[in-house]
Structure 1
Amino acid sequence: MSGSVAPRLSKIRTVLALVVLATIVVGTVLGVRMMSGAEADDVGGSWYAGYVDVTAVPRYAFEAGAPHPEGPSETGAEEAPAEVPSRADDVVLSFIVAEAEDTCAPSWGTHYSLDAAGYEMDLDRRIARLRESGGDIVISFGGAINTELAVACDSVDELIDAYGQVIDRYSITTIDLDIEGPALQDAESIQRRAEAVAELQHMSREQQKPLAVWLTLPVVPQGLSSEGAEVVAAMLEAGVDLAGVNVMTMNYGEARGDLPMLEASVDSLRSLHRQLGALYRQAGVALSDDQLWHKIGATPMIGQNDVPGEIFTLEDARGLNEFAQEQGLGRMSMWSLNRDITCGPNYPNTDRVSDACSGVQQDGVRFSELLATGFTGRAAGAAGTVTAEVSEETTPVVDDPETSPYPIWNEEAAYLEGTKVVWRGSVYQAKWWTRGDLPDDPVVNLWETPWDLIGPVLPGDRPMPRPTLPEGTYDEWSGEQTYERGERVVVEDIPYEAKWWTQGESPEAAAVDPDGSPWRPLTMDEVEKILEQ
């Protein structure tokens, strides 16, 4: 998610020294009161909190629970309504980044140090007001622009200090690490971040203070990228107890294909669920399906997305919330509360993304209300949750040849592209020639496995005949014979076709080097066509 690109308020005034001193005094007093909202309503469970772009102009009044920015926006947005909810919501304040590319010091969007944000934006005081009214904050580090602290800091100790300054100043129990852009490709920062967060969480728990850690990562309908998966794996390997992985269900680009936005978002979450299961299993942790769903968060970009043609509608919000409730997602967010309003008449080009309005006609309906429905927990209440492995033993499924619609997978057998097998109560189909690859192997990326999961074996299923070529259809392969392009042979009943002139090269080597082998195995479709002739 991007930070604001709108103008910022502010130059440091000549009375800097006096204001800084006053801020420190106020901060000391507020430090005692910062947790009052969370303590008054310490409810765990699934929670909702919309993102607020703290430095964007017009400034969003998160502290008052107001649904719109303060007063008319530069884009013609309507004024905020006078009524204020009796209890403010939790919000995700974004983004803490490095002051400069090579400076290991936290700032709000590079524009304000923590102290400057206190006196120029009254941020500490506004957070205290939010907490007094029953709300609370999560703070997000990173984002699509500027430099994430783990990239700027040179050591784990420096990074612990930088993160710690933010955690201590704002007395937060939940942090959100938004890792995207160059930070996804920076292997050193990924490791540095994982080690620093693991130590911070360990120290917090020793002091009987919860510190929940959420990763926010880009996603497509096929799931996390390999870089995104590596960020998760590094955290688990370092010993971080992740509260969950929140994915940005937005800006899919070409990966979306012809899918509607809601369907693309649902597919993304299902893919993430499968990937998380594999990542935890690779880390030696067994979690149930329900536990995995609870470790997933969704953050759509409401209205017009950054990618032209991608528009997340109010109906999409209703559908995503319904899916989230059905599956038991642990978190729902949105980008951003600043934008949760219809653009005014002075903003005619709604195809261009605005920081202050959604770009779609909302007719008084708020995306935040639709997405928050059913999320009754609070971030602070959920922060104390510790991940526990599944304790109950499960009886492995034993496949029965008498009721399996396809042959039961055999480690020694070779399978052509398109072949269907049964394994542990499910039907799988081979994407390419394979032998010895377990159909339910916990891989993170689908391209790592030659098998597609089709679905479960159904009651009433019975064996279906497997098509095989009659004996003598093709000659057995011989290492002494030469073969021209297009000639076909069989090896252990598997038919192959020569891609070019060859002699002495076994067709079975195609499984190891399909591009370099002069042979390719026929597909099941080709076998069936031969049988029809």
Structure 2
Amino acid sequence: MSQSPPASSSPLEWETDDAFDADEPSPEYSPFRVAVALLLALALLGGSGWWLKGRVIPSASASSLSGGTWFAPYVDTTLTPTYQFQDPSQNPARQTVLGFVVAGRGCQPSWGSAYTLAQADSSLNLSSRIAQYRSEGGDVIISFGGRDHEDLAQACPTVGSLTAAYEQVVSRYRPSLIDFDVEGAALNDPASMRRRAAAVAALVRARGGSRHLGVWITVPAGPGGLPHAAIEVAQTLLADKVVPAGINVMTMDFGQTEPSMARAVLSVATAAQAQVNELFQQYGVRGGLGSRFGVTVMIGENDTPGENLSVAGATQVAGAASARRWGRVSMWSLNRDAQCGSAYAEIGVLSNTCSGALESTLGFSRLFATALGARDGVGAPATTAGVALAPSNAPGPYPQWSPSVPYPPAYKVVRSGEIYQAKWFSQGQDPATVVQYPSETPWQLIGPVLAGSHPPTTTTLPSGTYPAWSPRTSYVQGRRVLFNGLPYQAKWYNVAQSPAASATDPTGSPWTALFTWPGEPPLG
């Protein structure tokens, strides 16, 4: 049931932004903005001009052009291969939406129903990557919900249990903004809407209000704008006296062929913004409404055949966002921001890891990040606030890098308090070496070692599984032994050559380890 504001209610308290009055007519596109946008599109298609010493030119310098609109792409956090959003060469945006936190077992929060919060740290190094991203001047927005899996608001039976689940996530990652992507079954569940609203209200109050924890709502929109259920999601929050930082509409998958996807996006956005403005005004929120509106596009090929947003179309969306003074533009997703196909572009392909559009790598992200700006307080290198880091000489969760060890792709090591992962085979190439371009090093910087990390361990086998290694025994090829409880197999005949040497010289050692350490790729 739709919740309308009580007739006698007084306007809600909120943080004014008189610079953006959305009830004023939207300004026309200036020739300067249009020219800049077109130049950006041409440069992106050419794939040049955006790199400086392997790092993206900070987008904050373009914030004056955008009039306050900021760009935050979504990342599918659990998708394989893991997207390195913390790396400036792979993410030009200064704020990134990480999706999605959903119900795992029961009311426990999880990432994509695949990892608990702890498992996301051990398997995906998520907290370390967030810390690294913040040290580079970025920040993350944690998104709850999404199209797939069960929404926490549906899985948690009470407001208290739902609040506790949200608290686990917010306490761990300490975001200044959170995002609730409400769609699918959750969009038509009034009971879960009320639980979510009450839990979010409690969460925000516990942190001293929305100045300390902002809330965005992300809902689907269609050719007529927002469906009633999407409006009801926002109404339930407003009824609990939580004024969202903004309402973000998903302008994608309209269900029909669109001759101009950009025109369709802007038409839907126009209708939805009028509804959002009216809703806020009903609850006494008057000024700055433009900054409380956001749009998310699906770059390239959409789920509906015949819907494809090109780089040129994205240029139009960026120009409209700036001209209309929207608060936010997002895209789905960074994982997809690359051209499908290698030698020849494959257009119209629907994939989780490429766009199905003609573009240079990161073409959409660079366009939006350069044409739009960063949120206030984001863009300058920052400390890893709220995250305790281990001393640089403390043991990490992976083996310490050694110049004598050959490292295959995907191997993780620790060097000077930082976690690195091998991009390709290497030996003797120090991960801490400063390079001009990312392609010059075989190592991907993951992020800092966090406080509380433990030295790597592996499971030992029971005594008697294999004979214990002895320096007085000769071993033929294929013979297996236990050394300190760990299994090894002889590669060739040897005597008195300890299996311990395989850790530092696996090529020259006559022994092959039949186990892996944390960070080591699985045995082939």
TM range (shorter): 0.5 to 0.7
CA distance in 2, matches of 1:344, 1:191: 46
Match of 2:120 among 112, 117, 120: 117
- Paired with 1:281 and 1:124, the residues of 2 have a C-alpha distance of 39
TM superposition score normalised by structure 2: 0.57
Structure 2 distance, partners of 1:344, 1:379, is 38
Please give the residue correspondences for 1:482-501 in structure 2 after superposition, counting only pairs within 5 Å.
none
Query: Whole-Å Cα distance in 2 between the matches of residues 135 and 253 of structure 1?
Result: 35
Aligned counterpart, 1:99? 104
Larger radius of gyration: 1
Q: Gapped runs of 5+ residues in structure 1?
A: 1-41, 69-84, 383-533
Please state how far the C-alpha of 1:260 moved relative to its aligned partner.
2.0
Q: Which residues of 2 match residues 516-527 of structure 1 at below 5 A?
A: none
CA distance in 1, matches of 2:378, 2:77: 24
Q: CA deviation at 1:380?
A: 5.8
Q: Which runs of 5+ in 2 are unaligned?
A: 1-62, 380-524
Query: Counterpart of 1:62 in structure 2: which amino acid?
Result: F
Amino acid at match of 1:53: D
CA distance in structure 2 between the aligned counterparts of 1:364 and 1:352, rounded to whole angstroms: 16
Equivalence for 2:49: none
Corresponding residue number in structure 2 for 1:228: 230
Change (3 A) 1:258 1:48: closer
Give the secondary structure class of the aligned counterpart of 1:276.
Answer: helix
Match in the other structure for 2:429: none
Number of positions where the alignment pairs a residue of Structure 1 with one of Structure 2: 316
One-letter amino acid matched to 1:50? P
1:130 corresponds to 2:133: yes
* Cα drift, residue 282 of structure 1: 2.7
TM-score (ref. length: structure 1): 0.56
**Which of the numbers 354, 358, 362 marks the counterpart of 2:355?**
358
Q: Using CA pairs below 8 Å that are at least 6 residues apart, which structure has the higher relative contact order?
A: 2
Q: Which amino acid aligns with 1:142?
A: G
Partner residue of 1:63? 86
Alpha-carbon distance in structure 2 between the residues aligned to 1:265 and 1:169? 36
Give the structure 1 partner of residue 330 of structure 2.
Answer: 333
CA offsets, 1:33-73, max 9 Å, x none?
Answer: xxxxxxxxx999432111111111111111112338xxxxx
Match of 1:456 in 2: none
Provide the C-alpha distance between the structure 2 equivalents of 1:350 and 1:123, rounded to a whole number of angstroms. Answer: 33
In the other structure, the counterpart of 2:206 is 203
Q: What is the deviation of 1:371?
A: 1.9
8 Å contact from structure 1 (residues 136, 380) kept in 2:
no
Deviations 1:292-344 (A, max 9, x none): 22111111000000111100100110000000000101011110001111112
How has the CA–CA distance of structure 1 residues 346 and 185 changed in structure 2, closer, same or farther, with 3 Å as cutoff?
farther
- CA 200–380 in structure 1, closer or farther in 2 if over 3 Å, else same: farther
Aligned to 2:271: 271
Task: Sort the Cα spacing of 1:45 and 1:322 in 2 relative to 1 into closer, same or farther, 3 A.
Answer: closer
Matching residue of 1:184 = 187
Shift of 1:379: 6.6
Q: Counterpart in 1 of 2:369? A: 372
Which stretch of structure 1 is more off in the superposition, 54-63 or 372-381?
372-381
What amino acid is aligned across from residue 262 of structure 1 in structure 2? Answer: A
Matched, 1:216 2:221: no
Q: In the alignment, residue 229 of structure 1 is paired with which amino acid?
A: I
Q: Does structure 2 retain, via aligned residues, the 8 Å contact 1:178–1:217?
A: yes
Find the counterpart in structure 2 of residue 315 from structure 1. Answer: 312
- Matched to 2:119, the amino acid is A
CA RMSD of aligned residues (A): 2.6
Return the match for 1:248 from 247, 250, 271: 250
Residues 240, 346 of structure 1: CA spacing in aligned structure 2 closer, same or farther, 3 A cutoff? farther
Conserved 8 A contact 2:292-2:327: yes
Identity rate of aligned residues, in percent?
41
Deviations 1:6-30, CA, capped at 9 Å, x for gaps:
xxxxxxxxxxxxxxxxxxxxxxxxx
Give the deviation of 1:281 after TM superposition: 3.0
Displacement, 1:365? 6.2
| Residues 193-236 of structure 1, C-alpha deviations (whole Å, 9 max, x = no match) | 01111111111116x96111000010013110011011111111
State the alpha-carbon separation in 1 of the partners of residues 246 and 346 from structure 2.
37
Aligned to 1:48: 71
Inter-CA distance 49–140: structure 2 relative to 1 (3 Å threshold): same
Contact 1:294–1:329 under 8 Å retained in 2 = yes
Asked if 1 retains the 8 angstrom alpha-carbon contact of 2:337 and 2:361, the reply is no
Counterpart amino acid of residue 81 in structure 2: P
